Each structure stands twice: as structure tokens, then as C-alpha cells.
A and B are shown apart, each in its own frame.
Chain A
Amino acid sequence: MATTEEFNQAIDVLTVFHNGAIRPVKIKWAGRTHTIHHIAYQWITRDGTHQVRHYAAALDSGSLCEIELHTHTMRWTLRKVQMDG
């Protein structure tokens, strides 16, 4: 059964800006670098006048995580991780 844990932690994300699109490629979290296998889904919300871009990312390790980029602060946050257990 998969378990989801909330983190809400600032993280570093290697990001590709290409052709008007943003693509997170790797995340650095808890001292380890994880490669993003693919983006399963993405959506945008607003925080006041600013956009927050959310990504449901499947990691190479098989885990799923939800990360978000606040376009005003340009900070990435790891919201939650779903791990198979």
C-alpha cells in the first residue's frame, strides 16, 4: 500500500526552461539527488497576483512527489512524497 507523507520543505530543483515551458529535471532533497522520470500532471494556481506551478513528478526511484514553483519568490517546495511500501 502506498503511503503519502507531507514535507512542505524548500528544495533545489534542476530546471530546464525550453520553448516557453518549464521542466523540472532533478530534485535535491535530504542530501540526495533524485532524477525525475516524467511529469505525470501539472496545474497552476494563484497566490494573490502570482502564479504557483505545481507538478506531480514520477521519480526514477518509483516514488511520486508533488513539487511547486512559486513564480514570485522563484522557490521550489516539496509538498509531498508518495512511496510504495
Chain B
Amino acid sequence: MNNPSRTFLDRRFTLGRRAVSLAGVATCEDAALAPLSSFAPARDPADRIILHVDMDAFFASVEQRCAPGLDDKPVMVCGNTQARSVVAAANYLAREYGVKAGTPITTARRLCPHGVFLTGNPEKYVYTCIRLNDICRTFSPRVESFSIDESFLDITTTAHLFGGPIETAQALKARIRTELGLACSVGIGPNKLLAKTASKLEKPDGLTRLTRADIPTRYHTLPIAKLYGIGAQTAKKLEALGVRTIGHLAQVPHATLKRIFGIIGPMLVDAANGIDHSPIVTDDEQPDPKSVGNGYTLHADTRDTRKLLTVLLGLCSKVGRRLRKGGHAGRTVTLVVRYANYTTISRAHTLEAPIALDRDIFHAAAAIFDRVRRHMAIRYLGVSISKLVPTEAPRQLSLFDAQARTQLQAATRSADAIRDRYGEHALIPGRLVRCKEDI
């Protein structure tokens, strides 16, 4: 492997990237208007200027914009305030009570009984994310929508149009504040890793620049858990080795970490030294997904097989629709079951031929479900499909049910066309009509 740090951080950044379907055309008004001669000369790829824009308490801030009376209240946004989901976002007032993203609602109500609990509206957040990226694209055509509330911009060749990196970040923050009414924190760095680290240093509404010269004083002094890509378990292992800061990690020999963490070990050291060559990946350059999946937490734990199969059907329909929309079919169907005591199991089955029709996915998932122990009530079901291939890839046709399959494919195409035109709820499986779950 020629460049292990690139592989590590590419993977980390890819894992972190939550898929958001974004519209909009890449624009950089100022850059487009500027004569070619005014563009900065090409630089060493290692000498980039990257901005990381991180929206502050994004979902909660959007809800506060919609209801200005909430400005001075602890606000928590959840999937469903009546159900047993978790807090998706908490504003900074709520965080003072110990509530954060991922806190179960029951715990959040105990920690912050006078807080305001709101049911989230994903469409509102996706729209705001699209607007955010449209604004970012007026500062650079190289924008990566990293998640629904985070974006990277490569302003290496455009920063001079706005007076420099700091001035660009200030102008970007001002535009976001004016046009969306939201605050964000911006980090500036020579790569994505340092830019992302910088944006976390002064939150909320911060603007921080980390240069290579700052690495010994401002990066190496951070606790090891602050290193991007380090999970709680790895941080624990490192702390047990006496590695408490990023600087400590930077001094550990590659061989030692390789022995303990395997191939990832030396990559950790490079990350600790602020080395990251991972590129900005624009919407047009996003790689195909490795899998497509959906999950659902039931309103109440249940052992009712009929109800569970109904939820499974709903999940399979969603997965199938997303697969077909993306032009994919997949061979491996995975079922995730979480029991009432939070024990989670995952079972997968790989088929001989790729599938993309709802019925095929449901049959495969239901077959796995039949083999899953139901000794305890079930809390959550998830279905995903992987080993994806393009829909148009050649595949083995069945000799026995060719006509029925052709008819089913035609029916599915018609149903997809109706949903494309009239919305996702224009057609749903009959079994889901009376289902009280919000699937």
C-alpha cells in the first residue's frame, strides 16, 4: 500500500459521509466571472486550503428558526416524541443538562424535564442542507457534502477572490447567517482532517484555523479521543497504553501500533501527525454505495409475527425502491433484529442472482426472519442489501418463472413511475394500510 494514511482517512471520511441526495448545480459565481489569469497557480496537493463547515445543533437550530419562541429553551429533536427513539439533536441549552444526540428520550426527559421535545422533519433539514451547499458552491466549485450538517470546501484556488482563507470563511459564515438564519462553526486547515478538527475547537459559531505550524501546540495537545476516526474503544485501548493526547500517539513507533491495531496502527500515527491526503469528493464524484438499507424502531416491543412481517414488508419496499432509484440490484440480504433487552443480531443470506424487486427482497428477508429466534419481544428491525451490481448488468434468467417475473417487473416499473409522479405514498402495499407504525 503506497499511501496508508490516505486509505485510512479516505475510509474514515467515507464511513462518516451520510448519504444526502443533493440537487443543485456546482457554481462559483465569482470564480466563473474572474478571468482565467486571476486564478491562483497550481500548488502542491499537500498545500491545500480546506474549509470544514459544521452547522451548530443543526436540527434544533432549524426548529428554533421555525418557532422563534424557543430561542431561550432547551430544545431536543427526536424521530418521534411519543415513541421510544433517541434524541437526534439537542441545542446547546439542552446539552447543559447532559442531553446529547443519541440520548434515549426517556433519559432526556429525566435529565431535562422542562425541555421542549419536537418531532423532527427530515425534509426540512434536507432542504436546508441543499441551500447550505448552494451557498458553499458560490465560494468554491469543489464542495463535498459530508453529512446533512457538514460540508468541506476546497478553496485553494478561490480563496484569493475573497481576500484570503479567513475572509472567505467569514464571508461564508455571514451568508449562511443571513440567508438561512443559522450559525455554523468553520475550521480551516491544510487538509480535511485538520479542518474538521479545527471546526470543533470553538463551538458554537466559531472560526478556527489550524496550520501545520499549529500542530505541536494546538493539535498534539488535544485528548486522544478528539482525533477524528478514533472510536471510544480505540481511545480506551490507547489510554491503557499511556497514550492520552494526540501528541503522545504521534510519538509511538509504527511497529508498536501495528502489533496492537494491525494495519490501522501506522495510519493512526500519520493522522496524529496531521497527515491526510483524502480528496474532496463532490456530488458528481461520489462512489456508488456499497449497500442500501433501512431500519425501524417499533412503537412497542412485540412478538407478534404478523406485525413484524408487516414492518419487514414496509422496510423491504423502501429498500427496493431506493435500490431501483439508484439503478442497482444486490445479492446479499441482511436482517438486523434488536430484542427488547437491546441484544442485537444480524443474519445475512447471499443469493445466486442479484435482486431489486420488493417481493424478492421481502421473501429473502422473511426467510431469514423465520430462522431468527423469537424468544423475546423485538424492538427494532433493519434490512439491508449489499453486493450491489448495476441493474443493467447481465444476469442469469430463471427458466421456470420467466413470464411471471416479466409481469412483476413491469408492475414494479409502473408502480415506481406512479410514485415518481405522485409521491412515495401514492402507492403502498395493502398490508401497510392499516399498520399503525410510521413506516
Contacts and interface: CB of A to CB of B under 8 A. Distances in A.
Interface string A19-49: 0000000000000000000001101111111
A41 B65 CA distance: 6
Interface in B173-198: 181
Contacts of A47: 422-423
Contacts of A48: 419-423, 426
A43 B426 contact: no
B67 A44 contact: no
Interface in B181-223: 181
B68 A43 contact: no
Interface residues of A, number: 17
A40 B123 contact: no
B57 interface: no
Interface string A41-85: 101111111000010101000001010000000000000001010
Contacts of A43: 123-124, 127-128
Contacts of B419: 48
Interface in B112-162: 123-124, 127-128
A40 B421 contact: no
Nearest to B116: A2
A84 B69 contact: yes
A56 B127 contact: no
Contacts of B426: 48
A46 B423 contact: yes
A64 B181 contact: no
Interface string B54-68: 000000001001111
Nearest to A63: B69
A56 B70 CA distance: 14
A58 B422 contact: no
A40 to B, nearest CB: 6
Contacts of B128: 43
A36 B354 CA distance: 54
A44 B420 CA distance: 17
A40 B127 CA distance: 15
A45 B128 CA distance: 11
A40 B71 CA distance: 13
Interface centre among B66, B68, B420 (most CB of A within 10 A): B66
A47 B128 CA distance: 17
Contacts of B127: 43-45
A40 B65 contact: yes
Given A41-B62, A48-B419, A2 B124 contact: no
A64 to B, nearest CB: 5
Contacts of A54: 124
Given A47-B422, A48-B419, A41 B181 contact: yes
A45 B123 contact: yes
Nearest to B70: A2
Interface string B357-374: 000000000000000000
Nearest to B419: A48
A65 B49 CA distance: 43
A58 B71 CA distance: 14
A64 B63 CA distance: 12
A48 B128 CA distance: 19
Interface string B397-436: 0000000000000000000000111110010000000000
Nearest to A49: B421
Contacts of B181: 41
A47 B127 CA distance: 14
Contact of B68 (A46, A58, A66): A58
Contacts of A45: 123, 127
Contacts of A2: 67, 69
Contacts of A40: 65-68
Interface centre among A43, A47, A56 (most CB of B within 10 A): A43
Given A2-B67, A45-B123, 11 more contacts: A2-B69, A43-B123, A47-B422, A47-B423, A49-B420, A49-B421, A56-B65, A64-B66, A64-B67, A64-B68, A82-B67
8 contacts: A40-B66, A40-B68, A41-B124, A48-B422, A64-B69, A66-B66, A82-B69, A84-B69
Interface of B: 62, 65-69, 123-124, 127-128, 181, 419-423, 426
8 shortest A-B CB distances, which residue pairs?
A: A56-B66, A43-B127, A48-B422, A47-B423, A48-B423, A45-B123, A41-B66, A48-B421
